[in-house]
A = this chain, B = another copy of it.
Amino acid sequence: MTGLSRPEARRGASMADVAKVAGVSSQTVSRVANEKTNVDHATRERVLEAMKEVGYQPNHAARALRTGRFKSIGVIVFTLSTFGNMKTLDAITAAAAEVDHTVTVIRIPDPTRGTVSGAYRRLSEQAVDGVVIIFEAHLLDRAEITLPTDQPVVVVDSNAGDGFTVVDTDQTTGAREATAHLLDLGHETVWHISGPEASFSALHRAQSWAATLSERGITPPPVFVGDWTTDSGYRIGKEIVARGDVTAVFAANDQMALGAMTAFHEAGLQVPGDISVVGFDDMEESKAFWPPLTTVHQDFTEVGRLCIQSLMREIETRTHTPGRTLVPTRLVVRDSTAAPKSAA
């Protein structure tokens, strides 16, 4: 069990150093480093050897200064602690690696006025070739956020203005299917545990839920507003228990669904016997909740992949082609939903 090894420390030999050792011009070293073809085989070998000897390491800054390309893409995100953001970032990172780019994350701690623009500006100071903004933004601040450059930008948020390239999951259809599923099972109405009011994803899901009810002539009951956390779901679950008249709940994410189920269990209610629950996200754990959770699956990997694809196209062609790509969701029916007792 050796652990890591650490060879002789040497700092940044330059092309000039290599050139001296190999007895060529630094230009030739550059050609070898960039795998250009017009270098004699013997010369190339000599240069390669010299590189090894002096411990050459390319200097990104110099290269970037010269070429104007950083081979890095920026990701602006408000939190990594939600399942969706984490998954999306993971996918973006993987997709970026495929095209030989790194990912620079800037996490905006508290999306209050000023902070956002400031942090964004900092990132946009050309240390990256393009930016993905994963929005879970507060309504108030959005109007303030301006994108100060002509840098390629992709926004993960189906509510960004028309000037943007947008990638998102099809939240509307997902929420509709979830609600319809419960209604089709025979529930008279469906209650909703939403995400925070400031979140556009939350808004979308809530709107779609309400619309689905309305279309069937059902007046949507009041919304329980959570904050995505298991804790908020638990707290709301207790309120729902206290009401006593709820048979079907659609939670805007799996974590709140989980919290609510815990409150139901504690109150001695059976899921789905006494009350049906649907989530949104389809976390890895959701299939192992008790009972296994019926939920709306989101394909975050695809979202990440499409972000990078769009971004790279904009970067390479230097064109800006606004447009909206919606990644389909699908309802995964498991064991947390059933017909209401009255209908059974």
Roughly how many angstroms separate A106 CA and B73 CA in the complex, as a whole number? 12
Q: In the complex, what residues of B have CB within 8 A of residue A86's CB? A: 80-81, 86
Q: In the complex, what residues of B have CB within 8 A of residue A149's CB? A: 9-12, 57
Name the residue of chain B whose CB is nearest to the CB of A5.
B146
Q: Which of B11, B60, B72, B148 contacts A57 (CB 8 A)?
A: B148
Name the residue of chain B whose CB is nearest to the CB of A105.
B103
CB distance from A71 to the nearest CB of B (A): 8
Roughly how many angstroms separate A8 CA and B60 CA in the complex, as a whole number? 30
Q: Is the CB of A126 within 8 A of B60?
A: yes
CB distance from A250 to the nearest CB of B (A): 18
Known contacts A11-B149, A61-B65, A102-B123; decide if A233 and B288 are in contact (CB<8 Å): yes
A contact residues, range: 35 or more
CB distance from A29 to the nearest CB of B (A): 15
Roughly how many angstroms separate A11 CA and B151 CA in the complex, as a whole number? 8
Q: Is the CB of A259 within 8 A of B233?
A: no
Roughly how many angstroms separate A4 CA and B124 CA in the complex, as a whole number? 15
Stretch at the interface among A20-28, A90-98, A309-317: A90-98
Roughly how many angstroms separate A80 CA and B229 CA in the complex, as a whole number? 20
Among A11, A126, A265, max chain B CB count under 10 A is at A126
Q: In the complex, given contacts A3-B164, A102-B104, what are 18 additional A-B residue pairs having Cβ atoms less than 8 angstroms apart? A: A1-B139, A2-B161, A4-B142, A4-B145, A5-B145, A5-B147, A6-B147, A55-B148, A61-B61, A61-B65, A64-B64, A74-B102, A81-B284, A86-B86, A94-B107, A262-B292, A265-B290, A289-B290
Listed by A's residue number, 15 A-B pairs whose Cβ atoms lie within 8 Å are A3-B160, A7-B148, A9-B149, A12-B126, A12-B149, A57-B148, A60-B70, A61-B65, A70-B127, A80-B86, A97-B119, A102-B122, A230-B288, A261-B288, A262-B290
